[in-house]
Chain A
Amino acid sequence: QKEVEQDPGPLSVPEGAIVSLNCTYSNSAFQYFMWYRQYSRKGPELLMYTYSSGNKEDGRFTAQVDKSSKYISLFIRDSQPSDSATYLCAMSGTGGFKTIFGAGTRLFVKA
């Protein structure tokens, strides 16, 4: 079993839809949770960064962490064609833990 599981998709939605992206993990030591966005032929860029459980909102993006269920989510409201990209979840712990990435979910937002 992988430490981080993420459905690779692809996920196709119409413009304006609410998008829900999710990851599950097995290592209870993870405390830092990130979402990266990666456009085709580009490196990933950090989108959201959350410490421990709870919600964090930034514009149209909301990140949720449920440590009791080992489940994290990224919600995108009013999705735009420019949101079409691969979204990777990532997580790490303290004490020298390396960052572990999910496989990434490919999202297509149709105009």
Chain B
Amino acid sequence: GAGVSQSPSNKVTEKGKDVELRCDPISGHTALYWYRQSLGQGLEFLIYFQGNSAPDKSGLPSDRFSAERTGGSVSTLTIQRTQQEDSAVYLCASILRGEQYFGPGTRLTVT
């Protein structure tokens, strides 16, 4: 069946602009993570959605970052007033029985 999809696959933006990254999880998966992966770094936890519970936002690096999940399915990660240090690959993963299924990621470049 279809896996996790993310869009866009690549995004180049100017410093100071806002960006929206989208994640379509696997149907029926109730939990979803967003991670950030910088060159040579592990996956940095950003935010976690589980069902109808309040999301765990403890990994968001600043108040410029926000995320929402509509209808328990599609999630969007928004970065306002982008900075060059936001350049990274943003990955989402949906979870079933403890196993994380990752999307291909969005490569964000802030110039």
Known: A43-B4, A46-B99, A98-B48. A88 touches B104 (CB 8 A): no
Beyond A46-B99, A98-B48, A98-B56, whether A4 also contacts B42 by CB under 8 A is yes
| B100 in contact (CB, < 8 A) | yes
Contact of B104 with A102 in the complex, beta carbons under 8 Å: no
Count contacts between A and B, CB distance < 8 Å: 45
Q: Are A103 and B56 in contact (CB under 8 A)?
A: no
Q: Are B43 and A8 in contact (CB under 8 A)?
A: no
Contact B99 A49 (CB under 8 A): yes
Taking residues whose C-beta sits less than 8 angstroms from the other chain, chain A's interface range is 20 to 34
* CB contact between A8 and one of B40, B56, B98, B105 (< 8 Å): that residue: B40
Q: Are B42 and A102 within 8 A (Cβ)?
A: yes
Counting chain B residues whose Cβ lies within 8 A of the other chain, the interface size class is 20 to 34
- Binding site of B, secondary structure by majority: helix, strand, loop or mixed? strand
B42–A43 contact, CB under 8 A? no
Check B67 for interface membership: any CB of A closer than 8 A.
no
Residue B41 lies at the interface, judged by CB distance under 8 Å to chain A: yes
The verdict on A42 contacting chain B, using a C-beta distance below 8 Å, is yes
CA distance A102 to B37 in the complex (A): 11
Whether a CB of chain B sits under 8 angstroms from the CB of A73 is no
